[in-house]
Structure 1
Amino acid sequence: MGKTNWKTRAVTAAVMTGLMGFAAHAQDDMSKQDKQSMEHGKAVGEAAGKRVQYVGKLAVFNNRQIQLARLAEEKASDPRVKEFATKLREDHEKSQESLRTWAQNKKMEVSALSDSNITSENQMGTGGSGVQQGYQEKMKGSGEKLGKAIDKTNEEVAKLQAKEGPEFDKAFLTRIAEDQKKGKEVLKEGRKEYKNDATFLALLSDTERVVSGNETQAKELEKQMKK
């Protein structure tokens, strides 16, 4: 039995050695121009994957605020908190719609921008082998990350849902103030990374102004609740 295994391993090793030699020969035959084209294509694909991941992160942030705001519209006991929740929802629905329109114009499919919570990985149209390879490598595990982000939002919603009255109001405002602060960091990241894309930069800047305003309002309301 041991000899058979040894023979199998020997044959496999010989085949693999032959294949590796063939691949090395094929690589040698690839022209310098072909190699450069492949590397450029991979860089383009990686950049596209990075952009899709960033847009997905921003879309998840918007969805999270919309869900929390809808809950507060139903459960908040203080009229000021209800009013703020409505403004928060409308702001992030507008931001999400702008992001969705921009993505559609770019022929970009981002699952987090769909009306339902889809956790599958985003797809990219066909392109050069280098482009597709770079994109697929960059997108590995993105579906799992998106699913975890959605699960975290659902957990936060469930926690808030268990609270009632003033306790709910305070917890909601605290949650939103913290979220808006994190959202500003995500937006700053995007403005730095995509500063050469005027349309996208304007979208991010508009959203950042709204997020900053909502963070300030949430903190102010939170202070008033403590008095």
Structure 2
Amino acid sequence: MMGCKRGMGWKVWVVGGMAALSLGTTAFANDGAKKEAQRMGKAEAKRDAYLDQLALFNAKQVAMGELAMQRAQSPEVREFAQHLVQDHRQNTDDWMAWAGSQDIEMMTAELAMPMMGTGGSGMSGREDMAYGEEMKKAGKHMDKRTLDAQKELDKLGEKEGMAFDKEFLSRVIDDQEKGKKMLGKGEKKFETDPAFASLIAKTDSLVMGHITEGKRLKDSMK
């Protein structure tokens, strides 16, 4: 009888141990899934925040170009401004089309010519905490960038004649060079996504052309 009882006790212990092991494995799996969801949420937030920067970059170039088409004294500068507007509008359309194909709601940005209106970015209805926290931080940076962009546009609007032309070209060259750095970082960060990286490279080529032409025009005014 004693032997029988011992055996039953051992079986109970084994069953209990297996149950504990099963619960531990499930908890570990749930923890792993949670961490993976957080990792993906942060990665998607960084991508969407990057898209917001691109949207603002394009919006500012369009706004400056439209202002220059009205105010520039030099016909060459007005022509350059027209190309700037056309190119960055097309680039915005290209990025919006890509975002739409990925079910991403890309930010739209507008800068008033001398307040602003910006829409949110990212996938609508997202509720995961990691994504929300990252986008909240990115949103604060975007608010400051948007305000700074509007201030620069207002300041440009105060110029007239040749002073306007020179300030416009200087502003465009500086912005495009900053944009090129941003695109370079994006090419490295998102190199594992061929379609995304390809569109970044296309935008980079566009920016390089504007830098070259802007510098040529600015040098001709010296």
Aligned-pair CA distance for 1:125: 4.5
Alpha-carbon displacement from aligned partner over 1:53-94 (angstroms, at most 9, x marks no partner): 001011110111000000000000000000000011111111
Task: Check if 1:160 corresponds to 2:159.
Answer: no
Alignment match, 2:87: 91
Between structure 1 and structure 2, the one with the greater Rg is 2
Task: Check if 1:124 corresponds to 2:123.
Answer: yes
Alignment match, 2:104: 108
Task: Check if 1:141 corresponds to 2:137.
Answer: yes
Task: State how many pairs are aligned.
Answer: 197
- 2:85 partner amino acid: R
Alpha-carbon distance in 2 for matches of 1:126, 1:72: 39
Structure 1 contact 120–143 (Cα < 8 Å) conserved: no
Aligned-pair CA distance for 1:195: 0.9
Distance 1:74 1:120, change over 3 A: closer
| TM-score, structure 2 as length reference | 0.82
Q: 2:212 aligns with which of 213, 216, 222?
A: 216
SS at match of 2:221: helix
Alpha-carbon distance in 2 for matches of 1:176, 1:126: 36
User: 5+ residue gaps in structure 1?
Assistant: 1-27
Alignment match, 2:72: 76
Aligned-pair CA distance for 1:145: 2.2
Alpha-carbon distance in 2 for matches of 1:55, 1:168: 30
Distance 1:179 1:111, change over 3 A: same
Alignment match, 2:174: 178
Alpha-carbon distance in 1 for matches of 2:122, 2:179: 25
User: 5+ residue gaps in structure 2?
Assistant: 1-23
Q: 1:39 aligns with which of 26, 35, 55?
A: 35
Root-mean-square deviation (CA, aligned residues, Å) is 2.3
Alpha-carbon distance in 2 for matches of 1:208, 1:121: 24
Alignment match, 1:63: 59
Aligned-pair CA distance for 1:110: 2.6
Alpha-carbon displacement from aligned partner over 1:10-46 (angstroms, at most 9, x marks no partner): xxxxxxxxxxxxxxxxxx8961000000000000111
Alignment match, 1:200: 196
